[in-house]
Structure 1
């Protein structure tokens, strides 16, 4: 039978696994719940050696537990923050780790601190180096409390201890890939994660997610919130046993699926126009003697800082910039620094800086500007919808994300276009892909509801048979017509 080592998330200890351990042992498995250094309930504010406890100390805690177990091969389970010490221990004892289970956890790599998954990538600690434990409604910042009874929430409040801040800020150090061994992801759907979201990340997200479609990676869903060991201990124990037996859903998306034959070209034939580079911004120039209105195209993400070609050098944005120039507008493209979900404030600053650079160019009519956002770059539209300057004539949105999905906790609350749109917002040109990822489609639906309620102007362009990122995936007459229609609408708003 399987042997499990269970490591919990922040502010909790081995006690949180009590019901799960009982069920695993009743099935004949061995189970060891780890209480990490400084996380013992009832100690003085959880502050045992608080100034000295860091992520490395917690990795060593898990290594010691592994070394004390006779079974040759173990299943290491990391919940939330717990995946960091689990991966660190698996890296140090690779011969003992038969499987890693990510329980509603992120996907950290070498060099990533746990705090990177939080809003602004930061945590507030007291002078003694501790992050105070949440209570009541404060737990929602760390994950959905859906499914927790009042008794379970009271138990969390009563037994939680402060988290040593260095456990959250010290980078994880790994010598190999976390996916060099069998891996299982257990996704808590009430917290916003699901297999469809993972499939979307593999199909449309940064390349690092493609490993999730590997043959040794499986997935389970639990219909509960972020603390399934308290809200659903029986189903969680069953899933862990099935994971140890190498069950779980394998993704249908092939890890190395070849790109479409047209991936290196834009879906429209665009005449070549002069292109001028200004730092992170390129200007695609029309044939005009006088200053012309401009449209700034804002790519999605997160993207890797090493991605080549960069977004503005990709066929998609070279095409959009050139098409704008062919319509008599200055087409501006940029590379902003949305490298992770916590980078939205920095990316927003890059966009604002790019706007000012574009407006200041003598070839641009600075009083007639449009902003055009794509994919998860759509969240960057929130500031411009909430407080539009007089020169912003319209906002275009193409297969956008228009509210942070539930498990994107690292995104600050400010980046919520569905909450920002109102009667004073500039006209919106919204291109909606009919085959959109369900999680993203829900944010578009929320935006439409808010816009209708407030009386905002929205030009809706539906593309029923198009996928997210259709410029790469779907070169059809339908998608070509949609791009032309959206571009003409933007031109109308900036020139009238």
Structure 2
């Protein structure tokens, strides 16, 4: 048995994994979807980049989890990647779901084509938060209208400091036992930093023929990939 700690991307909470959790639990594993500070039911809690890293570490330690598989989707690959090296021998593996990956001294915003200028402007205009995305943002990602409505309805503004503060890593991620899930619908190739990590012997690539939110569009298929990372 392993213990999956599931962390969804920007603006989302633990609820985003509702359709994935039953498949993992039915296979006999522990499943712990986590809401990061400042989001969903934790709105109002101040949060920076290291707050989110500590949220993940604290969850693992509070529950005294062993054989942990950390799963980070989209933005949350950044705090998950940092937390992975801090949970020590509790870690069994990491799965990055179509996510950003951290680099020491770099922020989530740094990877944007404009260096994050547009994102920072949005934060300044919205009280330091990244506002909820409109329904049109989720089009052409293999989602039904009902699924899009659910995502928009459940989303909350994202604490801006978590997006602009730098990651802190003691060493590169290439030493981690990691799986990278690339959702290929509309954007088939991994980013350059991910491609470099995939060149190492401890990383492997799995592709999904869907858009950026597979926990909604293909929950069963996503769960099976998570199970396959450690074997049922």
TM superposition score normalised by structure 1: 0.43
Post-superposition, which runs of at least 4 consecutive aligned residues in structure 1 deviate over 4 A? none
Of 159, 162, 167, which aligns to 1:164?
A: 159
CA distance in 1 between partners of 2:138 and 2:145 (Å): 13
Shift of 1:168: 0.4
Matched, 1:226 2:225: no
- Quote the Cα distance in structure 2 between the aligned partners of 1:65 and 1:168: 21
Relative contact order, CA 8 A, sep 6+: which one is greater? 2
In structure 1, the gaps of 5 or more residues are: 247-496
2:40 and 2:78 map into 1 onto residues whose CA distance is 19
Do the aligned partners of 2:78 and 2:100 also contact (CA within 8 Å) in 1? no
Stretches of structure 2 lacking an aligned partner (at least 5 in a row):
none
Whether 1:100 aligns to 2:99 is: no
Equivalence map 1:304-453=2 (5 Å) = none
Seen in structure 2, the aligned counterparts of structure 1 residues 95 and 139 have a Cα distance that, compared at 3 Å, is same
CA distance in 2, matches of 1:117, 1:238: 30
Compute the RMSD of aligned alpha carbons: 2.1
Gap change, CA 1:173 and 1:191, over 3 Å in 2: farther
What's 2:33 paired with?
33
What is the total number of aligned residue pairs between the two structures? Answer: 227
Match of 2:136 in 1: 137
1:82 matched residue in structure 2: 76
Larger radius of gyration: 1
What TM-score, normalized to structure 2?
0.90
Give the alignment partner of residue 229 of structure 2, picking from 223, 227, 243. 243
Taking the aligned partners of 2:141 and 2:128, their CA distance within structure 1 comes to 30
1 CA distance for matches of 2:183 and 2:60?
Answer: 27
Cα distance, 1:210 vs. partner? 4.0
* Contact in 2 for aligned 1:225/1:231 (Cα 8 Å): yes
1:68-107 deviation per Cα after TM superposition (whole angstroms, max 9, x unaligned): 2334221101101011111121122222222111100133
Q: Residue 421 of structure 1 corresponds to which residue in structure 2?
A: none
Distance 1:189 1:95 in 2: 33
**Does structure 2 conserve the Cα–Cα contact (< 8 Å) formed by 1:109 and 1:172?**
yes
